[in-house]
Chains A and B, each alone.
Chain A
Amino acid sequence: MNFKNLRESSPIQQLSLLGLAVVFGVFTTSCNPDETQVVANFTSTITLQEEFDVDLNDSIWGYEEGTGTDGWGNNELQHYTKRADNVVIEDGMLKITAIKESYEGAEYTSARVLTKGKFEQQYGRVEARIKLPSGKGLWPAFWMLGSNYDVVGWPQCGEIDIMENKGSEPTIVAGSLHGPGYSGGNPVTKQFQLTDNRFDSDFHIFGIEWTKDYVNHYVDGVLYNHITRDDVPGEWVFDQPFYIILNLAVGGNFDGAPTDATVFPNHMLVDYIRVYAAK
C-alpha cells in the first residue's frame, strides 16, 4: 500500500486514513516487506502529541546550548541558544532559526531542543511534520539518542536518525541507525529522494516505526528503509528508551560549510510531533 496520495490531506484525514490502512496492513505486511509495505501499524495509543500551539512545554522539552565539544563532535559552526531569535513557537509551529551573526566566538547561532530525561520511550512510532530549510551547509535533523547516553556514551547508547538532510540536497533525506561498530561516517543508512517536490517547499512527514526486531523509516507514508537486528554490523543497542532531538546545525562534517549563496536567516518549521506506543 502506497500512501503518496495522502500528502495533500489534513492531518486528521491522514490519521483516519492511516487507521483504515492498518486494516489492510494486517493482510499485506507479512508477505510484502518492500517499499509498498504499510508503515503505520502503531496508531491506537498516542503517548506524546506535541502540536506546538502554545509555548514550548518545559515538562517535555529542554535545550542544549553552546558549541559542544568540537562543534558537537561534527565540527559544526553554530552556537546553540534558547533565545526566541533562534527557537520560538509561532503560528502553531516550532520554528528553529539559523542566523549568521557573531555570537560568543561563533559565526552562527541556531537551536537544539530535546526531550532528554523528560520524555523517553522504547519502541513505537515517532513522527513529525516538518518543513526543512535549504542551502549549502545547513543540517536539519530529527533524531533520537539512547537514554543511557550519559552512562555508556556514544555510540554505545545508540542513535536513531529519523531524518537528516544536507541543505545542498533539497530533495534528499536520510534515515540511519548508529551503534557500536557502525557510527559516524559509517552508519546503517538509506536515502529517500523526492522526484517532484522539495523538502523546503512543503511540509513532509518523517517517521519511524520501531520494534524489538526492526526500525522502519518512512516519508509521507512511503516506507524506504527497513533495518532489522541482522542488518546492523555490530551490537543491536535499540532495546531501551530513547529521547527525541530536533535541531538545525550549520556547517560540520555532513554538508560542509555554508557559502555566500546560503540564505540566512533560514528556518526549520515543525508542525507537530506525535509518538505512539508499539501496540
Chain B
Amino acid sequence: MKKINFKTQVAFAFVGFLALALVSCERGFSDEITLATYPETPEVFTDFPVGLTDAFFVSFDPAGGANVNGFGTDENEAYKGNSSIRIDVPDSGDPEGNYIGGIFLDRGNGRDLTNYDALTFWAKGAITAEVGLFGFGTDFQGDKYAVGLNNIALSTDWKQYTIPIPDPTKLVQEKGMFIFAAGTASTNGLGYTFWIDEIKFEKLGTIGQVRNSIFSGEDVSMSSFNDAIIQITGISQTRNLGDGTDVTVDIAAGYLDYESSDLTVAKVNELGQITIVGAGNAVITASAYGIETAGSLTLTSLGDFTLPTAPTHAAADVISIFSDVYTNVNIDFYNGYWEPWQTTTSNDFDINGDNILSYDSFNFVGHQFSDPTVDASDMTHFHMDVYIPGTLAAGAKLKVTIKDFGANNEDGGGDDTTQTFTISGADLSGDAWSSIDVALSLSSKTRVGQFVFENDGSDLTKLYMDNVYFYKQ
C-alpha cells in the first residue's frame, strides 16, 4: 500500500494564511481584465489523482478522532486500470483515531463543474460494511456547496455509485472534489478495508425529478425573539436516476433560494441563517428554479429578548459548561437525546452572539462533558440561569443532578456519585430569567461528567438555559 501525503486542516490553515498575506500585496485589476475560467477536468482519480497535487488528501482533524494512517493507493486492486484508492477503516478502539475520512482538495483555483450533473465512482468493500459518507463540495473553506450521501452499503464486488449535483450552475469554481468518512458503526467496531476507483464528474443526462426539502420536509413552528439567529436544517434533495431508483443527498444551504413572508419579522441569507428582526409572524420557505421546496418554518417572534445578567466571577474561578462569557470545557453534548423515554428537543438560538440553550417538549435532558471529565475539587458552587417562556405552570419544578463518574471515569459501573436538588416554582419565573446558585455537596468531585435536568413530572415543558458553570466563592 502506497502512502499518499496528507495534510490536516491545521496545515491547510497555514497555507490559507500565506495566501492571505500574498493577496494583500497584489495590485488592483487592470481595465482589460476578463472573468477567469477554470478547468473543466472531469476526472478526480483514475489510476492516480488527476489535476491534483500529491497532497490532495486532507484528513478530518485528528484531534476529533480522525485516523490518518489508513489512506493510500493499492496496485493490486482496481476496477479499471492498475490502481485504486485503498482505505483501511480503523477499529473503534484504535488509539490513533476511531474513524477515517477527509476530502480530496483541488489546491489550485478550483474547477468549473457546470457542465456535469453527477459525481460517479466505483467502490468495493472487503466486507459488506456501510460507509458513513461519500460526497463532494466540501473544501474546508466554507463548504458552501457541500453534498453528502449517507450510510452507503458496500458490496464485495465493484459497484458504481452516483451522486447527483443538486444545481450544477453553482459550481463555477469548486475545490471540494470528493469526501468520505467511514467508521465501524455497521461492523460492531471491527475495522475493514474498502477501495474506490474511477472518481469523476459526468454529464449523464439521465438524472431527473428534483425534489428539495428543508426541515426534513416538515412544516415546523417555533417562537423566538429579536436578534435570534436560527439555522435552517434538514436540507436535502431527492433525484431519480436513469434506472428509476431515487437517491437522496444532504445538500448545503447554498443550493436553495430562501424567502421570508415578512421581512420586518425575519430575514434569511444564502447560508440558510434566519435572523429575527422584529415582532410578529413570518413563514420561511425555500425554492430552486421556482420549484417549491417541501418543508417550512413558521416563526412567531415575541419581540425583544432580555438576556440574563452577565456573570461577574473571575474566569480563573470558573469551570464553564455552557456560557459565552467563559471558555467552555470540551463538551460531548447539551442534549443526549436519550432513548427511549426522552421527549426533549433542542431549538437553540443565538441573540447577538449570546448562545441560548432552548428545550421544547421537555421532560428530561442531559449535558455531558466526559472527554475529559472535570476536576471541580476547587469549586464551591453550581450556577445556572433559567428562563421559562410563557406563564409558569402551577407546580412547576426543575430537578438537577450533578454526577461524578468515579474511579472508572465513566458513566455507570457502580462507582458514580451524585448531588441532586430540586428548584421549586417559587425560585422560577414566567417570561423572566432566574439565577440559580447551589453549593456543591458532592463527596467526590474530581471526575464530574454529567448534568441531568428533569421536570420531575411537572408541567414545566419548555425552558431556556444559559451560563451553566461551577465557580469558587
Contact = CB atoms under 8 A, between A and B. Distances in A.
B204 A201 contact: no
Nearest to A167: B244
A170 B240 contact: yes
A171 B211 contact: no
A69 interface: no
Given A261-B246, A263-B211, A134 B205 contact: no
A200 B208 contact: yes
A134 B240 contact: yes
User: Which residue of B205, B207, B243 has the most chain A CB atoms within 10 A of its CB atom?
Assistant: B205
B209 interface: yes
Contacts of B238: 261
Given A170-B240, A263-B211, A198 B206 contact: yes
A198 B208 contact: yes
A224 B209 CA distance: 27
Interface string B186-224: 000000000000000001111111010000000000000
A135 B209 contact: yes
Given A194-B206, A198-B205, A169 B211 contact: no
B204 A196 contact: yes
Contacts of B311: none
Nearest to A169: B244
Interface in B231-273: 238, 240, 242-244, 246
A166 B211 CA distance: 20
A198 B242 CA distance: 7
A197 B209 contact: no
Contact of B244 (A170, A194, A195, A196): A170
Given A261-B246, A263-B211, A197 B205 contact: yes
A170 B206 contact: yes
A84 B246 CA distance: 30
Interface in A148-199: 166-171, 194-198
Interface string B419-437: 0000000000000000000
A79 interface: no
Nearest to B204: A196
A197 B211 contact: no
Interface string A196-208: 1110110000000
B216 to A, nearest CB: 15
A94 to B, nearest CB: 21
Interface residues of B, number: 14
B266 to A, nearest CB: 30
A136 interface: yes
A200 B209 contact: yes
B209 A168 contact: no
Contacts of A168: 244
Given A134-B240, A170-B240, A197 B246 contact: no
A197 B206 contact: yes
A71 B209 CA distance: 28
Interface residues of A, number: 18
B211 A170 contact: no
Nearest to B241: A170
A263 B240 CA distance: 11
Contacts of B203: 196
A132 to B, nearest CB: 10
Contacts of A136: 244
Contact of B209 (A134, A194, A196): A134
A224 B386 CA distance: 73
A194 B206 CA distance: 8
A263 B211 CA distance: 9
A136 B242 CA distance: 13
A40 B240 CA distance: 33
Nearest to B244: A168
Contacts of A194: 205-206
Contacts of B204: 196
A220 B79 CA distance: 35
B208 A134 contact: yes
Contacts of A263: 209, 211
A169 B241 CA distance: 9
B208 A170 contact: yes
A135 B244 CA distance: 7
Contacts of B209: 134-135, 170, 200, 263
Contact of B205 (A166, A196, A200): A196
A201 B208 contact: yes
Interface string A255-269: 000000101000000
Given A261-B246, A263-B211, A171 B206 contact: yes
A136 to B, nearest CB: 7
B292 to A, nearest CB: 12
A147 to B, nearest CB: 36
Contacts of B246: 261
Interface in A190-235: 194-198, 200-201
A7 to B, nearest CB: 11
A196 B206 contact: yes
Contacts of A134: 208-209, 240, 244
A207 B311 CA distance: 78
B208 to A, nearest CB: 5
A167 B246 CA distance: 12
Among A166, A167, A200, A201, the one with the most B-chain Cβ atoms within 10 Å of its Cβ is: A201
A105 to B, nearest CB: 29
Interface string A84-104: 000000000000000000000
A136 B244 CA distance: 8
Contacts of A170: 206, 208-209, 240, 242, 244
A95 B207 CA distance: 23
Nearest to A197: B205
B415 to A, nearest CB: 49
A101 to B, nearest CB: 19
A201 B242 CA distance: 11
12 contacts: A134-B208, A135-B240, A167-B244, A169-B244, A170-B208, A171-B206, A196-B206, A198-B242, A200-B208, A201-B205, A201-B208, A263-B211
Interface of B: 203-209, 211, 238, 240, 242-244, 246
Given A134-B240, A135-B209, A169-B243, 10 more contacts: A167-B244, A170-B240, A171-B242, A198-B206, A198-B242, A200-B208, A200-B209, A201-B205, A201-B208, A263-B211
